Amino acid sequence: MSEKYSFSTIGETDFYLKDEAMDATHLLIININAPSNLPTILGAEIAQPTKEGRIVGYMTSKHVLTTPHRVLSESNPMWTIFKYENTLLVMVDSPPSISNNPNVNRNEWLFNYPPARDIVMRFAHLERIGALSTYALNRLFTEQKPLPTKCAVVQGSDFGEEQKEESLQSIWSWLPVQIAHLIGVNSALYLMPPEVAKGRHNDERVEIEPACFDEMVKLLRKDGFKIPRGAAKKAQGIYTGLTTEAIERIKELLGAQQQETVSNTGAMYQ
């Protein structure tokens, strides 16, 4: 018997949800196309997509960039909504870009704002809405600053406060948090230090520092998010496993830090 999903449209976004999604109290948003892999790695361990029953819904919009089905064996091209106990997790598959080109910035806002707004409005009844990100884009600051080494939580009510550490964030990091705050939902942006590597560009002996998964899991749990036992440890294992692709990514990061033009081009480390 096929599973049944209830349908609703909020703004310009369609939601298909199972009944199991309705008793959630927390929502965490992760942009899987962010300039750092860390939120996605941790998000995958929270979502545990291979576990039966973890997928509780899908969402799509005319603004959402997806790959159309070419053969029927391909997976659902909509954005998937997962659930672990009280926590819903949306893995955003969107290509936001940050550039000095005004047209690019305009398109980023036009295509990402509607679904970011609609997700918040669809789940405005929840106790808390959060977004998980890193300080990776801080590398784009014109005046280079040391990257933070500890995780941080910036409450939606604290955006713009002078005492908060300055950080450059994409739309999918800050916008849902701010919208949630404006409509009266507790919200926060959860920030991790990005990938940190030891070595030089084109040096085969690249080593990476352990990520702060354990610290971030503790902060999320403190705010009521439910995280599977061992998620931080498993995420750390995946991260330090260093596949060939991961090593090449670290080398790219190291090389990008040495380029004087990086801060002026607005290129993203992807």
Q: Tens-digit pLDDT profile for the chain (270 aa)? A: 467 899 999 999 999 999 999 999 999 999 988 888 899 999 999 998 778 779 999 998 888 766 666 666 666 778 899 999 999 999 888 665 656 666 666 777 888 899 999 999 999 999 999 999 999 888 888 777 788 889 999 999 888 776 667 888 888 999 999 999 999 999 999 999 988 766 555 555 556 677 899 999 999 999 999 999 999 999 998 887 754 555 565 555 444 443 433 333 333 333
Beta bridge partners of 129: 27, 187
Residue 197 domain flag: yes
SS3 label, residue 13? strand
**What pTM, to 2 d.p., does this model score?**
0.82
Residue 270 domain flag: no
What residues make up the domain containing 101? 6-265
Residue 252 domain flag: yes
Number of alpha carbons in the 13 Å side-chain half-sphere of residue 175: 18
Contacts of 163 (CB under 8 A, 6+ apart): none
Residue 1 domain flag: no
User: Which of 58, 36, 14 is CA-nearest to residue 173?
Assistant: 36
Count how many domains the chain has: 1
Token pair 């750390």 is at which residue? 236
Residue 42 domain flag: yes
CATH value at residue 190: 3.40.50.10900
Dihedral angle at the C-alpha atoms of 195, 198, 200, 206, nearest 10 degrees? -80
Q: Are 151 and 193 in contact (CB under 8 A)?
A: yes
Contacts of 206 (CB under 8 A, 6+ apart): 197, 198, 199, 247, 250, 251, 254
